[in-house]
Amino acid sequence: MKPTLFWLQGAGCGGDTVALLNAESPDIIETQDALRFEILHHPFFSDRNADSSVIIDQISSGQIKLDVFCLEGAITLGPEGTGMFQTVQGRPKHEIIRILASNARLVFAIGTCASYGGISHACDPDAIGLQFTGDQAGGFLGKDFRSLDGFPVINLPGCPVHPTVLIGAVSGYLHANDLPLNEFQAPLEYYSMLVHQGCTRNEYHEFRVEETDFGQTGCLFYHLGCHGPLAHGPCNKLLWNNRNCKTRNGVPCFGCTQPTFPKPEPFFQTPNIAGLPINLPDGVDRPHYLAYKGMAAAAAPERLKQRKSRV
């Protein structure tokens, strides 16, 4: 029997679906051919004309087995806990989310809003993630939620999530590969590395040759707010459209995979005290890092100082 998939859109921009359309290897058609999903519902990809509320009722009554439930976007509880800011045929969407989550073998939070609240939560505190609100476990379904296969919500953060991560994680779990999760329930396979790993500006970072304005060639950490050494994600390993990512293109990483995204400070400024960043690379000891960086800057080769190495 074909595995079934129900994809619901919560409070968000729909960017994860748009990113999925850009999947390249495999692309979305190859994925569909390989996994042979029956898409019960997706706002854009459904191959059925049936009324989604009828399908939801059939899932709820056990007439249809649901293998994979994907939620894109946060869960809206406002105003005043009613959820009536976001409805389907007059019914609060959060009711439907609970029905689908409790009847699915696997539940995926697609993107940072569904995982942790993300931008939607920053705009409206009543918009929360499936099993987290920011970095606090709980969220809409509660800490103890487990899907029918015994997993917590599998978070695939990113604003948007990279399509290869999405396809790889869904197919991996569906074929019974238990990919270990990190403390924020994101698969380590994709979220154990830092965005900084693989950045083409690494040598500039190493010798503290820094950009002070956009369009230069150095590292973006000290002045322009780059979160690459703090944010977990494969952005410099799995490139977008197989060719690029923010930091390679001169745009600082703003840490969109992190549960605390977005931070209250401006995206493109590094919070600092006397010119020294407040937030250092993940797990780094401040006195040693600052001593090392001072020495590295003194040792920077001319070709980097003159920005002769292309990025």
Count Cβ atoms within 10 A of the Cβ of residue 161 and give its class: 0-12 exposed, 13-18 middle, 19 or more buried.
buried
Q: Does 253 bind ligand SF4 (CB under 6 A)?
A: yes
Cβ-based nearer residue to ligand SF4, 125 or 301: 301
The residue (of 85 and 268) whose beta carbon lies closer to ligand SF4 is 268
Q: Quick one: 124 or 206, whose CB is closer to ligand SF4?
A: 206
66 binds ligand SF4 (CB under 6 A): no
Q: With contacts defined by CB under 6 A, how many residues of the chain interact with ligand SF4?
A: 14
Between 206 and 245, how does the x/- string for binding to ligand SF4 read (CB under 6 A)?
-------------xxx----x-xx----------------
Looking only at the bridges linking them, the beta strands covering 132-133 and 136-137 are antiparallel
- In whole angstroms, give the CA distance from residue 29 to residue 34: 9
State how beta strands 66-72 and 104-110 pair. parallel
> Any idea of the CA torsion for 274, 276, 278, 282, to the nearest 10 degrees?
-170
- Strands of the sheet containing 154-156, edge to edge, are 38-41, 4-9, 66-72, 104-110, 154-156
Cα–Cα separations (whole angstroms), residue 92 to 77, 212, 296: 9, 48, 56
Binding marks (x or -) toward ligand SF4, 166..195, rule CB under 6 A? -----------------------------x
Output 75 or 230, the one with its CB closest to ligand SF4. Answer: 230
DSSP summary character for residue 98: H
Residue 284 Cβ vs ligand SF4, minimum distance, rounded to whole Å: 12
Closest contact distance (angstroms) between CB of 266 and ligand SF4 is 16
**Cβ proximity to ligand SF4, 96 vs 226, nearer residue:** 226
Using the rule CB under 6 A, which residue among 46, 87, 202, 216 binds ligand SF4? Answer: 202
Nearest to 69 by CA among 40, 20, 107: 107
Taking the complex as a whole, the smallest distance from the CB of residue 195 to ligand SF4 amounts, in Å, to 5
Residues at the interface with ligand SF4 (CB under 6 A):
195-196, 199, 201-202, 205, 219-221, 226, 228-229, 247, 253
